[in-house]
Amino acid sequence: MTSIDWAKVRADFPILAQQVNGRPLLYLDNAASSQKPRAVIESLVNYYERDNANVHRGLHELSSRATDAFEGARTKIARYLGAESAEQIIFTRGTTEGINLVANTWGVANLKAGDVILLTEMEHHSNLVPWQLLAERTGAKLRFVPVADDGTLAFEPALLEGVKLFAFVHVSNSLGTINPAADLCRAARAAGAVTLVDGAQSTGHMPVNVREIGCDFYAFSGHKICAPTGIGALYGRLELLEKMPPWHGGGEMIVSVTYERATYKQPPHKFEAGTPNIADAVGLGAAIDYLEAIGRQNIFDHDAELTARAVHHLAEIPGVRVLGPQKSRGALAAFHAEWAHPHDLTTFANEHGLALRGGHHCTQPLMRKMKLPGTTRASFYFYNTLDEVDRMAEILRAAHRFFA
């Protein structure tokens, strides 16, 4: 048991205290996007009311305050991820942009026809389509680690033969599987492959340390960890970042420019062309402070309790099959109900104030492999309560009576 006062924590989230369709809002779509605590909302207001200016440019008070706040957020992210230094943290719009950045810089510079990119069958489109585009451009080939019936990866080292890059999801947004990231990176390193971890569903939910994982790149989105939308970060091993060409060109990323050519700054600035999303980076820093005050292990334990209770309830509803592994599961429970399409079920839930997600969850190839039109997904965060999980189960039992 932890000493966290979860009711007090929940009260930090103003949006949760509302009615939807005449019922108390029951927000269980956290894997899509998390809610924001007052501390994060206030950090944006404070930034715009006191410090707003462009960064790294003007030699005036507001510009240096904005720069300090922006670079301070970078330092917080580096510490939060266990990076060696803030230079390894590139601000992005989110996980999708981080992965595209690696594909368009490291990928374009290092891959050639016949090279193999290893992915898994459970990847989100964000960690699939950028590699498809890169394969088309370079002639590299895609290979996939199969997903076994229990929702875990059927990984074997032989799959790494000829592989230049192994990119995989840390926690699956469709199955909830927590992949053994450190073991996979160790095997990849032994085979000489570079690794990228999609941390969209892990970063705010569990202790994450990029050095312990041993990955070369790690991408995440702020909006899933209590920060604003439109901001995220990519961690990269400095040795690789230094050799990578820039992606976008423009102001902020250059040292010197002639009409013919330009020289570039060192990482991370080489990868941050143009005026960055300063306010939301500051908001991401505030979100990290907030999460750290609660403690990532506490968040993981609380999420795990909610998820276990949800899985237990769902398994008791006739005709419902919960997907993904029984153990080592992230903060979500996706299921197939044989008596209702996911869209009908989520519409029914919404009428009761319950926010679920129904559909393919941007993992169409995985749904096709599982021969499902989609699934219904409940996803949790630390401000959810066991009482809410029980209410979700009541609503889904009512849905079963309605549809079956």
> Which residue of 124, 269, 309, 329 would you call a contact of ligand C6P, by CB under 6 A?
124
Work out whether 389 is an interface residue with ligand C6P (CB under 6 A): no
Q: Give the residue among 151, 107, 148 at the shortest CA–CA distance from 127.
A: 107
Work out whether 176 is an interface residue with ligand C6P (CB under 6 A): no
Is the distance from CB of 306 to CB of 299 less than 8 angstroms? no
Q: Please name the helix (run of DSSP H) or strand (run of DSSP E) that holds residue 263, with its range, or none.
A: strand 262-264
> Which residue of 362, 392, 395, 396 would you call a contact of ligand C6P, by CB under 6 A?
362
For residue 404, the tally of other CB atoms under 10 A from its CB is 12
> Which residue of 28, 90, 169, 287 would you call a contact of ligand C6P, by CB under 6 A?
169
> Which residue of 361, 380, 383, 392 would you call a contact of ligand C6P, by CB under 6 A?
361
Residues from 81 through 100 that contact ligand C6P (CB under 6 A): 94-96
Quote the CA–CA distance of 334 and 187 in Å, as a whole number.
30
Return phi, psi of residue 320, to 5°. -110, 130
Work out whether 198 is an interface residue with ligand C6P (CB under 6 A): yes
> Which residue of 28, 31, 135, 349 would you call a contact of ligand C6P, by CB under 6 A?
31
**Active site includes 362?**
yes
The distance of closest approach from Cβ of residue 142 to ligand C6P in the complex, given in angstroms and rounded to an integer, is: 17
Q: How far is CA 203 from CA 213, 221, 284, in A?
A: 12, 8, 12
C-alpha torsion sign, points 354, 293, 38, 199? negative
Given the rule CB under 6 A, which of 68-76, 77-85, 356-364, 391-399 is the region that contacts ligand C6P?
A: 356-364
Q: Give the residue among 359, 371, 100, 54 at the shortest CA–CA distance from 221.
A: 100
The distance of closest approach from Cβ of residue 134 to ligand C6P in the complex, given in angstroms and rounded to an integer, is: 17
Work out whether 357 is an interface residue with ligand C6P (CB under 6 A): yes
Work out whether 221 is an interface residue with ligand C6P (CB under 6 A): yes
> Which residue of 32, 39, 44, 262 would you call a contact of ligand C6P, by CB under 6 A?
32
Work out whether 200 is an interface residue with ligand C6P (CB under 6 A): yes
Residues from 143 through 162 that contact ligand C6P (CB under 6 A): none
Beta strands in 178-253 (DSSP E): 194-198, 217-221, 232-236
332-337 and 320-322 strand pairing: antiparallel
Candidate list 185, 215, 226, 362, residue with the active-site label? 362
Helix 296-315 / helix 278-294 crossing angle, nearest 10 deg: 80
Question: Which residues belong to the active site?
Answer: 362
Which residues of the chain form contacts with ligand C6P (CB under 6 A)?
Answer: 31-32, 94-96, 124, 126-127, 169, 173, 198, 200-201, 221, 357, 361-362
